[in-house]
Amino acid sequence: MNGRKSFIPVAVVLVILAAAAGGYAAEVKLDWKALEEEAVSTLSRYIQIDTTNPPGNEIKGAQFFKQIFDRAGIEARIIESAPGRGNIFARLRGDGSKKAVVLLNHMDVVPANPKEWKEPPFSGLVKDGQIWGRGALDDKGPAVVELMTLLALKRQNIPLKGDVIFLGTADEEAGGAMGVGYLLEKYPELFANVGLVLNEGGGIRLGTDGKAREYSVSMAEKTPLWLRLSARGQPGHGSTPGSNLAVNKLIAALQRVTQYRAPIKVVPEVQKFYAQTANSEPDERRKKYLDLRASLQDQAFAAEFAKDPRNDASVRNTMAITVIKASEKTNVIPAEATAELDVRLLPGEDPQEFIKELKKIIGDDSIKIEVILSFPPATSPPHPEAMGIIAEMAKNNDGGVAVVSPLVRGFTDCHFFREKGFPCFGFMPLRNSPLESGMVHGIDERISIESLRTGLRGMYELVHKLAAD
């Protein structure tokens, strides 16, 4: 070879050199602009695949990714947990000197009513610097950031020390049994050498001024306990109601539920988070946050603190009435009426003990309580290397803003991995504005191209350092 560079007109530029030791071609210099444009186009097309759960149809998303991986020469397989419920597993292999990194995302999305949206929710419209559509933030945008990271590493011919795995799963929005739960149970060998899982649940939180306020890395979540309350009574015609009515019994039970507020409990994970954020608060609040457990004994402060629903949900078990069903006809008194509760428990809480307490609150033994969904509590084991890299990113890119570990009030697929002892961090280096954060599961969900662009660069930096350095 004469040492001169030859150029290939693709999204990357390959510098061809002799490989003196390991037989690898030299690393490729990335054309970031082209890579970012490819990410925008890919996300737009991915959003157009309707994977609303129910029914899911995640197989369509899995096939979308499989075609991309096949073209790139990356080994990939589709695993169906049931007809139409597809999962995609792709791997870039390392030399085994470091443990594997899993880039986890879910392909299903929550429903979207087109009548409520300014733009069609499955259009993938690119407009005014935004990519519109259901899943843009949760979780198709992060998935494309992970996808492009894998493609960039492949195109660069980087010799990896640890495997990098892309895992797109089904069913997360309904609990994950057909996705990560199924894969860990049926295919544990796929995860034998995993050292870290990166997933949704955290990121770079921006203030209203557009500047980073903190890097949020979640390691613990509240535990979901979804319950169904059922009441039975005498059915009949709506014109002649009796006294033994299922709906009336249910309403009485729900009235007691709405009047109940669980006592305040400051678990260690929550105390740590508020202490971490204290320095960014005004002086008086800073002192309160440093010892939140003691501060919340002050009733005036506790009332002010609880005005923010996020604060309140961080220190209490919560119940939300989300589904109510009775008769389907106005003139028919039903024999049964049901309601579903979305209960979220703090780490360490016993679901069965909570159900016992709920029965006391309702005070009616005729009300049947069924468990729809329940997970055991799980907290992520530590991963000092990853936390060190994230702290370095915060220092180099955002002046050393705090790296914090909030308690996630929702739930993610991380809990499946944490229950098996794998570190699973909720951290996607997307720069989320307050507006974007409020659109998850909401109307007019969209992600800014700038957030996608910086998220891709941040994810690439993090994974490169974890798997190749």
Q: How many alpha carbons lie under 13 Å from residue 362 in its C-beta half-sphere?
A: 20
Which residue in 241, 219, 256 sits closest to 363, CA to CA? 256
Sequential DSSP letters for 195-264 = EEEEESS-EEEE-TTSSEEEEE-B-EEPEEEEEEEEEE---EETTS--S--HHHHHHHHHHHHHH--PPP
What residues contact residue 223 under an 8 Å CB cut-off, 6+ apart? 344, 345, 346, 347, 349, 351, 374, 375, 376, 377, 411, 415
* Tally of CB atoms within 10 A around 175: 19
Closest CA to 137 of 448, 456, 457: 448
The token pair at 105 is: 């995302």
What are the Cα distances from residue 66, in Å, to 11, 61, 79, 274, 291? Answer: 20, 9, 11, 42, 50
Tokens of 297: 């004994």
Omega within 30 of 0 (cis) for the link into 83 = no
Domain 31-219+379-467 has CATH 3.40.50.970: no
CA 136 distance to own-chain centroid: 12
| Rounded distance between C-alpha atoms, residue 133 and residue 124, angstroms | 5
In whole angstroms, what is the distance from residue 107 CA to residue 9 CA?
Answer: 32
Name the nearest CA neighbour of 122 among 56, 130, 109: 109
339-342 contacts at long range (C-beta below 8 A, 24 or more positions apart)? 339/228, 339/229, 339/250, 339/253, 339/254, 340/226, 340/227, 340/228, 340/229, 340/372, 341/226, 341/227, 341/228, 341/229, 341/257, 342/224, 342/226
Q: Domain limits of the chain?
A: 31-219+379-467, 223-373
* pLDDT string in tens for the chain (469-residue length): 444 444 444 444 333 333 333 344 566 689 999 999 999 999 999 999 999 999 999 999 999 999 999 999 999 999 999 999 999 999 999 999 999 999 999 999 999 999 999 999 999 999 999 999 999 999 999 999 999 999 999 999 999 999 999 999 999 999 999 999 999 999 999 999 999 999 999 999 999 899 999 999 999 999 999 999 999 999 999 999 999 999 999 999 999 999 999 999 999 999 999 999 998 888 888 999 999 999 999 999 999 999 999 999 999 999 999 999 999 999 999 999 999 999 999 999 999 999 999 999 999 999 999 999 999 888 999 999 999 999 999 999 999 999 999 999 989 999 999 999 999 999 999 998 888 878 999 999 999 999 999 999 999 999 999 999 9
Taking each helix axis as running N to C, give the angle between helix 32-47 and helix 140-155, from 0 to 180 degrees, rounded to the nearest 10. 140
**pLDDT at residue number 27:** 64
Q: Which residues pair with 333 in a beta bridge?
A: 236
Give the bridge partners for 104, in sequence order.
167
- In CATH terms, is domain 223-373 a member of 3.30.70.360? yes
- Residue 38 to residue 152: CA distance in whole angstroms: 11
pLDDT at position 26? 61
Cα-based angle 165, 169, 173 (whole degrees, multiple of 5): 140
- Structure tokens belonging to residue 63: 């096939």
Q: Per residue in 106-143, is it b (16+ CB within 10 Å) or e — as a string?
A: bbbbeebeeeebeeebbbbbbeeebbbbbbbbbbbbbb
Calpha distance 458→430 (Å, rounded): 8
